[in-house]
Amino acid sequence: MLKIGSHVSMSGKEMLLGSVKEAVSYGANTFMFYTGAPQNTARKPVSQLRVEEAKEYMKEHHISIDDVVVHAPYIINLANTVKPETYELAVRFLKEEIARCEEIGVSRLVLHPGSHVKAGDEAGLKQIVKGLNEVLREDQKVHIALETMAGKGSEMGRTFDQIQYMIENTKHSSLLGVCLDTCHIHDAGYDLTHFDDILEEFDQKIGLDRLLVVHVNDSKNERGAHKDRHENIGYGYIGFETLNQIVHHPKLKDVPKILETPYIDGKAPYREEIEMFMHQTFNSGLK
């Protein structure tokens, strides 16, 4: 069965239970959430997130906790060598985020590798490795999925070579995987119409067994723009046909696919987009 869902919110009184209900309303069998606001470090104790009720609801609707994804907040920047306080916050908060995932029972944590803030790629890569070495514990169950990035500004992770360096130079590398974002790698310059070639390069440099999550997004920009602006499925420069082939690629059948496309007129498009992939037919009436 196709494992597909979207990112969902977690707020109000129902907390994680509400997240699961939202995912189910979209016809999803997986989902991704933030343990709090993605832009800050404010977090409620896990005891207040209604985790057990959420897990019961997941069981009733055939969603496995093993397929659920947490996304670390954007404020974590392990690549920063310019401001020690920014790096120290990133290390401390990432440790806390891993602990929250373990308490909830989620094993996939997506992380933006970070930005070197004009210090250069080499300095940024070494700082990310340093941070991962401080954060990862040999006995932890949570795997960090380093996200492929579009390369805007001084973003790290815009090539498979950079991701390969991070993994190969981290002590507990078995705890590292990858989140492949279709919009990001398109904007970074990869030609998704040759996806088999991309997977072959990925396998050679990183290993397909490390592919833990796929973010499925169309792009508002031409290939190689390095801008990172998500578009609704079928309305961007990647297109439905190419994304549909990726979503249904046999080598990715066990990997959770997560939609992060823009809301349309204030409404989530995920039910319609999931149906498009389930039926493998583009819905031109989405917008």
- At 117-146, the pLDDT tens digits run 999 999 999 999 999 999 999 999 999 999
Count structural domains, the chain.
1
Confidence of residue 91 (pLDDT cuts 50, 70, 90): very high
Q: What is the pLDDT of residue 245?
A: 98
Cα(125)–Cα(109) distance, integer angstroms: 19
Task: Establish whether 181 is an annotated binding residue.
Answer: yes
Give per-residue pLDDT as tens, 24-62. 999 999 999 999 988 888 899 999 999 999 999 999 999
Which residues are paired to 110 by β-bridges? Answer: 71, 145
Q: How does residue 254 score in pLDDT terms, banded at 50, 70 and 90? A: very high
Q: Are 106 and 92 in contact, with CB atoms under 8 Å apart?
A: no
Distances (CA, A) of 94 to 105, 118, 172, 226: 16, 23, 15, 26
153 lies in some domain = yes
pLDDT at position 41 is: 81
DSSP structure string for 180-241 = EEHHHHHHHT--GGGHHHHHHHHHHHT-GGGEEEEEE-EESS-TT-----EE-TTSSSS-HH
Check residue 9 and give its pLDDT: 95
Among candidate residues 219, 223, 228, the one with its CA nearest the CA of residue 194: 223
Q: Is 143 annotated as a binding residue?
A: no
Which domain CATH number covers 17?
Answer: 3.20.20.150
3-class secondary-structure state, position 52 = helix
Span 67-92, average pLDDT: 96
**pLDDT of 281:** 95
61 in a known ligand binding site:
no
Domain that holds residue 198: 4-279
CA–CA gap between residue 130 and residue 124 (Å, rounded):
10
Question: Do residues 255 and 214 make contact, with C-beta atoms less than 8 angstroms apart?
Answer: yes
Contact 32, 110 (CB under 8 A): yes
pLDDT of residue 38: 82
Question: Is there a binding annotation on residue 218?
Answer: no
Within-domain flag for 284? no
Q: Report if residue 286 sits inside a domain.
A: no
Residue 287: inside a domain, yes or no?
no
Confidence category of residue 20, pLDDT binned at 50, 70, 90: very high
DSSP-derived pairing of the beta strands 30-33 and 4-7: parallel
User: What is the average pLDDT score of the chain?
Assistant: 97
Residue 231 lies in a domain: yes
Q: What is the pTM of this model?
A: 0.97
Q: What is the pLDDT of residue 158?
A: 98
Phi-psi region of 110 (alpha: psi -120 to 50; beta: other; left: phi over 0): beta
User: pLDDT digits over 214-248, tens only?
Assistant: 999 999 999 999 999 999 999 999 999 999 999 99
- Whether the pLDDT of residue 11 is over 90: the answer is no
| Separation of alpha carbons 71 and 119, rounded Å | 26
Q: Kindly indicate the confidence band of residue 268, based on its pLDDT and cuts at 50, 70 and 90.
A: very high
Q: Span 155-184, mean pLDDT?
A: 98
Residue 184 counted as an annotated binding residue:
yes
Summarised one tens digit per residue, pLDDT across range 190-215 is: 999 999 999 999 999 999 999 999 99
